[in-house]
Amino acid sequence: MQNDVLEVLYSEQQIQDKVKEMGELITRDFEGKNPLVICVLKGAFIFMADLVKRIDLPLETDFMAVSSYGASTKSSGVVKIIKDLDISVEGRHVLIVEDIIDSGLTLSYLIDVLERRNALSTTIAALFDKPTGRKVDLDADYKGFVIPDAFVVGYGLDYGEKYRNLPFVGILKPEVYSH
Ligand code: XMP
Ligand code: MG
């Protein structure tokens, strides 16, 4: 599987260091609050698991699944809730944990939903940001790495549901896409 990777962009250690840093910032900024931390499935599941361990607050966690790219590498622009939250966001400080922001369509839709459900505040933590792909005006409050417009896999990120278990993040070899 590692043979399918053209280039490692971020090593396991680099990611861990960044996640720790983000967790410390969030801990400081949310002092005195008990945020509801929402993982956007599936891509953010590993980031979520590592991040919450670095946040020293009485937080709660919940999970939401929205339509993804499927086996393609481009956003359809259509966002659909596949699995909804169990915990009410009403009156809560919500921290949305996302793997990567590309067009921004997924998160702007989610924020809209959460605000209509009367969340007290919505904050975004994204491990990766691809600003060149943006189609709506949206930015992460906490971001790990800004990356060029390449399709990346590993550390939760997939191509056709594979490669999520790579401990690092990398770019696939072009021939993998044509299989
Ligand atoms: P938008 O365009 O709505 O997209 O900001 C966010 C979602 O698109 C997926 N995405 C990727 N998934 N490698 C992936 O594995 C990538 O390089 C990539 N770029 C975008 C991802 O699911 C994210 O939640
Ligand atoms: Mg995702």
Q: Give the C-alpha separation, 176 to 179, whole Å.
A: 6
Residue 41 confidence class, pLDDT cut points 50, 70, 90: very high
For residue 51 and ligand 1, the question of a CB distance below 6 A is answered with no
Dihedral sign of CA atoms 153, 140, 91, 21 in order:
positive
CA of 49 to the centre of ligand 1 (A): 19
67 lines ligand 1 (CB under 6 A): no
Residue type, 159: Y
Closest ligand to Cα 75 = 1
For 114-131, write each residue's pLDDT tens digit. Answer: 999 999 999 999 999 999
pLDDT for residue 1 is more than 90 = no
| Known catalytic residue at 29 | no
Amino acid identity at 120: L
User: In the structure, what pLDDT confidence band is assigned to residue 174 with cuts at 50, 70 and 90?
Assistant: confident
Q: What is the pLDDT of residues 136-152, one digit of tens each?
A: 999 999 999 999 888 99
Q: Where does 13-147 sit in CATH, by number? A: 3.40.50.2020
Residue ranges of alpha helices (H) inside the chain are 12-29, 45-53, 105-116, 174-177
Residue ranges of the domains in the chain? 13-147
C-alpha 27/C-alpha 1 separation (Å) is 36
d(CA 90, CA 155): 31
pTM over 0.90: yes
Cα angle for residues 88, 89, 94 (degrees, 5° grid): 140
Would you give the distance in Å from CA 104 to the centre of its chain? 11
d(CA 36, CA 61): 6
What b/e string do you get for 155-169 counting C-beta neighbours within 10 Å, with b at 16 or more?
Answer: bbbbbeeebbebebb
Tens digit of each residue's pLDDT (9 = 90 or more) over 44-90: 999 999 999 999 999 999 999 987 555 555 565 668 899 999 999 99
pLDDT exceeding 90 applies to what percent of the chain? Answer: 85
DSSP result, 45-85: HHHHHHHHHT--S--EEEEEEE---TTSSS--S---EEE--
